[in-house]
Amino acid sequence: MSDHLEKNDPLAPLREFTAARIAIGRVGNSIPLKQSMEFNLAHAHARDAVYSTLDLDGLTEKIKIFDLPILHLHSQASTRHKYLKRPDLGRLLSEDSHNQLHDSIVCPDICIIIADGLSAAAVNENTFGLLKILIPMLSTAKLTIAPLCLVEQGRVAIGDDIAGGLKAKLSIILIGERPGLSSADSMGAYLTFNPSPGLTDESRNCISNIRKGGLSYRNAANKIFYLVNEAIKRKLSGVALKDNAGLLT
C-alpha cells in the first residue's frame, strides 16, 4: 500500500494497536505484493512452530535453578506425525512414563507440567520467564510443588493424567498454543483442581497468549497465582471459577 493510500485509509491507525491483518490494501482483485509475502512468511512460521521440538536439555538446565526434581515424560504418541493424526494419544501417558510417576508419588499441592503442545517453540521461549516469577510466589504461599514434568508430544488433558498420578491437589500445564498467523510463539496455561484422567475442558481455567508480544510473564503469573488460591480455597476450577482479580467487591 502506498503512503498516500495508507494516510487516507481510516483503518490504518488501528494497526498501531493490533498485529491482526487490517487495512492491508488491494491491487486489483488481490492484495499488495508486500502484504502477500508477509502472509506467506507468517504461514511458514506457523507451520515451523507446529513441527518444532521441545528443548529438553535447555529447559532442564534452566529449571534446575528451582531446586525441584525433574521428570522427563512422553505421551502415547511416539512421533510428531502420530501426535497430529491421533490427538487422543497425546492426552495419555506412555507406559514407561506411568511407571516413573508410580515411583515419584509425593501428594503435593501443585503439579506443574510443561508440554510441547502445538508449538514447542513457544514453550522453549516463554516457560522459564514465567516460572521464575510464579514458582517463588507459590513457595512463599507455602504451597508444595511436585517434580517439574517435561512432556513430549503432550496435549492439555495429559496434565490431568500426570497430576492425578502424583496425587496433586491442583495441576498447572504450560503448553504451546495452536500457532496463529501473528503469534506462533504463544503459550497457554491450564489450571485444574482435583485433576484426574477423563476430565474435559469445562473443568479447567485457561490463561492464554503468554508471550513477550502478548500477556506479560508478570501479569500471567499474577493471574495464575490468583486462580490457584481461589481454586484451593473454593475446591473447584473451570467454568465455576471466575477470574475476579481486581474487581470491586
User: In the chain, where are the structural domains located?
Assistant: 56-240
User: In this predicted structure, what is the pLDDT of residue 74?
Assistant: 97
Q: Return the minimum-mean-pLDDT range out of 32-41, 56-65, 143-152.
A: 32-41
- Residue 165 and residue 102 in contact, taking contact as beta carbons nearer than 8 Å: yes
pLDDT confidence band for 7 (50 / 70 / 90): low
Instruction: Return phi, psi of residue 74, to 5°.
Output: -145, 145
DSSP E strand boundaries for the chain: 70-74, 110-117, 148-152, 170-176, 187-193, 204-210
Per-residue pLDDT, averaged over 14-35, amounts to 76
Per-residue pLDDT, averaged over 124-141, amounts to 97
Mean pLDDT in the chain? Answer: 88
Q: Return the minimum-mean-pLDDT range out of 85-99, 136-150, 171-185.
A: 171-185
- pLDDT above 80: residue 90: yes
User: In this predicted structure, what is the pLDDT of residue 181?
Assistant: 67
Of the candidates 168, 164, 153, 172, the residue with the CA atom closest to the CA atom of residue 210: 172
Per-residue pLDDT, averaged over 67-89, amounts to 95
CA 179/CA 36 separation, integer angstroms: 19
In the chain, the N- to C-terminal Cα span, in Å, equals 49
- pLDDT above 90: residue 12: no
CA 97/CA 84 separation, integer angstroms: 20
User: In this predicted structure, what is the pLDDT of residue 2?
Assistant: 46
User: In this predicted structure, what is the pLDDT of residue 48?
Assistant: 67
- pLDDT above 60: residue 248: no
User: In this predicted structure, what is the pLDDT of residue 40?
Assistant: 75
Q: Dihedral sign, CA of 126, 132, 133, 137?
A: positive
Q: pLDDT tens for residues 177-196?
A: 988 766 788 999 999 999 99
Per-residue pLDDT, averaged over 116-123, amounts to 94
User: In this predicted structure, what is the pLDDT of residue 6?
Assistant: 55
Q: Which CATH superfamily is domain 56-240 in?
A: Ethanolamine ammonia-lyase light chain (EutC) (3.40.50.11240)
Q: Return the minimum-mean-pLDDT range out of 33-47, 90-104, 131-145, 228-242.
A: 33-47
Largest CA distance in the chain: 67
- Residue 190 and residue 172 in contact, taking contact as beta carbons nearer than 8 Å: yes
Neighbours of 1 (CB within 10 A): 17
Instruction: Supply the DSSP string of 109-172, one letter for each residue.
Output: SEEEEEEEET-HHHHHHHHHHHHHHHHHHHHHTT--BPPEEEEES--TTHHHHHHHHTT-SEEE
User: In this predicted structure, what is the pLDDT of residue 8?
Assistant: 63
The dihedral region occupied by 70, where left means phi > 0, alpha psi between -120 and 50, and beta the remainder, is: beta
